[in-house]
């Protein structure tokens, strides 16, 4: 069940759902979503002549990006073909019985700006700001202003609360993140990381444990 505005307000009032700072609830709470605003920090991907980036090499990933902070009153220009990581102003806390999905706003979509490549899911138990995967699919640069409403988050109630929500037990990589975060895929178990997984089920038909499906959704 997708939460309506009435459900969202009730959850926020109860404290079972957190979206903060929610400076203008009348503007930001939509009929079935909450608008999130753009932060001022960006990670830009450098055009480079290296043959490739190895996802398991933290050094290569870090050298591939540079951080940009936009001053008050300034804009960030997203050029055609660019891909940058941004962040929301708001911090969210998703309870164990909800899952969230981050989507773009249609008005920006009509300017060819998309706000995520694949990572649109925010898992039950996640806490932190949301990293945005910003791209300009159009032919003209678009000026993005920190503080503008950039995306919307939709909350869906689970049939039962998650048994192992995102967080410490799972060694989740992006819990409590602030600002845009570059990929930490090198921490995945298949790259020699130390993410915690349950023992595989005895049923040989289930060859993928629960951690194989995803590890943190929007912020995995």
Cβ density class 180-199: b for 16+ within 10 Å, e for less: bbebbbbbbeeeeeebeeee
Whole-number Å distance between alpha carbons of 131 and 65: 14
Tell me the per-residue pLDDT of 87-121, one tens digit each, with 9 for 90 and over: 999 999 999 999 999 999 999 999 999 998 876 88
Whole-number Å distance between alpha carbons of 132 and 112: 15
10 or 55, which is more confident? 10
- Residue 157 is among the residues annotated as catalytic for this protein: no
pTM above 0.75, yes or no: yes
Tell me the per-residue pLDDT of 20-69, one tens digit each, with 9 for 90 and over: 999 999 999 999 999 999 999 999 987 766 677 777 777 777 777 889 99
State the distance between the two ends of the chain, measured CA to CA, in whole angstroms: 24
The DSSP output letter for 31 is T
pLDDT at residue 206 greater than cutoff 50? no
**Residue ranges per structural domain of the chain:** 5-196
Whole-number Å distance between alpha carbons of 44 and 108: 20
pLDDT of residue 184: 62
On whether the CB atoms of residues 130 and 87 are closer than 8 A, the answer is yes
Whole-number Å distance between alpha carbons of 159 and 181: 31
Tell me the per-residue pLDDT of 142-180, one tens digit each, with 9 for 90 and over: 999 999 999 999 999 999 999 989 876 766 777 878 888
- Helix, strand, coil abundance in the chain, percent, nearest 5: 15, 30, 50
Average pLDDT for the chain: 83
Catalytic residue among 41, 75, 103, 133: 133
User: What CATH superfamily is the domain 5-196?
Assistant: Deoxyuridine triphosphatase (dUTPase) (2.70.40.10)
């Amino acid at each position: 069940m997708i939460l309506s505005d009435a459900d969202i307000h009730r959850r926020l009032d109860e404290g079972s759902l957190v979206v903060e700072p929610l400076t203008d609830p009348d503007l930001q709470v939509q009929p079935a979503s909450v608008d999130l605003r753009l932060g001022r920090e960006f990670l830009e991907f450098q055009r480079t002549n290296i043959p490739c980036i190895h996802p398991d090499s933290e050094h290569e990933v870090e050298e591939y990006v540079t951080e940009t902070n936009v001053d008050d009153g300034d804009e960030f220009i997203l050029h055609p073909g660019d891909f940058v990581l941004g962040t929301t102003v708001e911090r969210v806390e998703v309870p164990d019985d909800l899952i969230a999905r981050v989507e773009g706003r249609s008005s920006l979509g009509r300017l060819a700006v998309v706000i995520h490549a694949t990572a649109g899911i925010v898992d039950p138990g996640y806490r932190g700001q949301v990293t945005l995967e910003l791209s300009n699919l159009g032919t003209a640069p678009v000026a993005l202003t920190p503080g503008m409403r950039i995306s919307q988050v939709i909350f869906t109630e689970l049939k039962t609360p998650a048994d192992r929500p995102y967080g410490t037990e799972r060694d989740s990589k992006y819990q409590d993140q602030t600002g845009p975060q570059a990929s930490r895929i090198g921490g995945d178990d298949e790259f020699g990381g130390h993410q915690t997984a349950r023992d595989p089920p005895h049923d040989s038909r289930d060859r993928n444990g629960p951690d194989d499906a995803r590890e943190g959704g929007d912020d995995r």
